[in-house]
Structure 1
């Protein structure tokens, strides 16, 4: 089954990365909107999956980024229509916000390759059976966090923040074999995209090193650890995406 994937970008550097590789390998066409660059948003019936990517802004920055209003409307409409919606970092926060959960500063910055582990709900979930049961390293770049949306299951946590991801599914999603999946972290980074994120976020990283040295790593450390962990995290993401795709084919 061919899936029409539409992605919402919020910067020039936080792109689909490995998700694009997975989609291309499975012949799923991709379209993109850059609302910050005055792109129009797609019609609801023109895509099957909506992927909401990261960015440096807050979900509450509508005064500075008025395009957030229309994006939130599209995300909510997509969820209500029973479409698969995947949120990454800011994208996860936007999805949580659209589901009525509070999004706020977590009180700490997590920037770098940090250990994360699945909750009991995460370990039991059919979409996540290819993820380790023990803590594993994944790339983080965030300071805000979300509460658990009503009806969702929190699937992962770290020492610094308990809500690192959630899965949500309505009765309409169950009938269609679709899901809402949100991750604060970045399984999708490749060597190239990680380098771009580190370069563009260097000021934030340097400030974070001063304020939160236990949870923020230097650019050199981030890039070096990326060589060690990127491939296995891309494989984990591929497994999750393939499980979502297969659930809609039943």
Structure 2
């Protein structure tokens, strides 16, 4: 059986509606909780697929969260070997940092809510074509420079680098395609402080946007991931 290691940073940001996609392709999925797992004993090349998920901390917060240093080192080794790796939000930022790029607070401010992407030509010719024109979920205050040698795939007016590919088998997504409408109710509780501190943002507003956009993204995100897996995990 093929193996997938999904690395989480908070319990409610998991594979969610994307979980059936690797399962349908014969992957056995193991969830790893980065804050409590012994990452020092993890072989970064052993699993056939890594999915590194989101979380409310910054890549540069290693002093408070030392496991980030280990996680970045593991990603550096995995990406150097061009092993299939998907990073979502914090996961994409960790990939960028592992590839030598700068990660920092977005000078244009936080993006929190649903809005479409602008795909580059490379993005339109990639598996991301499945979500072209659809609103995706943004939930980030940090951004990153495009790693040297990476290919930019998408942007928004506030964030120049929303997605990138690395080598043949690395994909970093600053936005979220994994969050289902029902599971976002957990986010609204878990991120209550962040929502309250974000101007012109409320739970009711986010819930209304989610009802309008999540059902289509749940389906399209699964299509995008499935096509990507079919390319990189052969």
- Which bracket does the TM-score occupy, shorter chain normalised? over 0.9
Partner of 1:48: 48
Corresponding residue pairs, total: 232
More displaced 10-residue stretch of structure 1: 29-38 or 85-94 = 29-38
Partner of 1:77: 77
**Superposed displacement of residue 185, structure 1:** 0.7
Partner of 1:225: 209
Q: Distance in 1 between matches of 2:134 and 2:31?
A: 31
Partner of 1:184: 174
Which residue of 154, 157, 165 maps to 1:156? 154
Alignment partner of 2:141: what SS?
strand
Partner of 1:3: 2
Decide whether aligned partners of structure 1 residues 240 and 115 sit closer, same or farther in structure 2, where only a CA change above 3 A counts: closer
**Superposed displacement of residue 25, structure 1:** 3.1
**Superposed displacement of residue 152, structure 1:** 1.0
Please, which runs of 5 or more residues in structure 2 have no aligned partner? none
Which runs of structure 2 are paired with 1:1-250 in the superposition (5 Å)? Answer: 3-40=2-39, 42-107=42-107, 108-125=109-126, 127-132=127-132, 135-169=133-167, 173=168, 179-209=169-199, 213=200, 217-248=201-232
Please, which runs of 5 or more residues in structure 1 have no aligned partner? 174-178
| Aligned-pair Cα RMSD in Å | 1.7
Decide whether aligned partners of structure 1 residues 226 and 79 sit closer, same or farther in structure 2, where only a CA change above 3 A counts: same
Alignment partner of 1:149: what SS?
coil
Deviations 1:209-237, CA, capped at 9 Å, x for gaps:
2xxx3xxx321121222122112212222
Q: Distance in 1 between matches of 2:96 and 2:71?
A: 13
Q: Distance in 1 between matches of 2:198 and 2:233?
A: 44
Q: Distance in 2 between matches of 1:122 and 1:206?
A: 34
Deviations 1:133-184, CA, capped at 9 Å, x for gaps:
xx43111110000111111111111121111111111xxx4xxxxx111111
**Superposed displacement of residue 15, structure 1:** 0.9
Decide whether aligned partners of structure 1 residues 238 and 164 sit closer, same or farther in structure 2, where only a CA change above 3 A counts: same
Q: Distance in 2 between matches of 1:198 and 1:227?
A: 13
Relative to the length of structure 1, the TM-score reads: 0.86
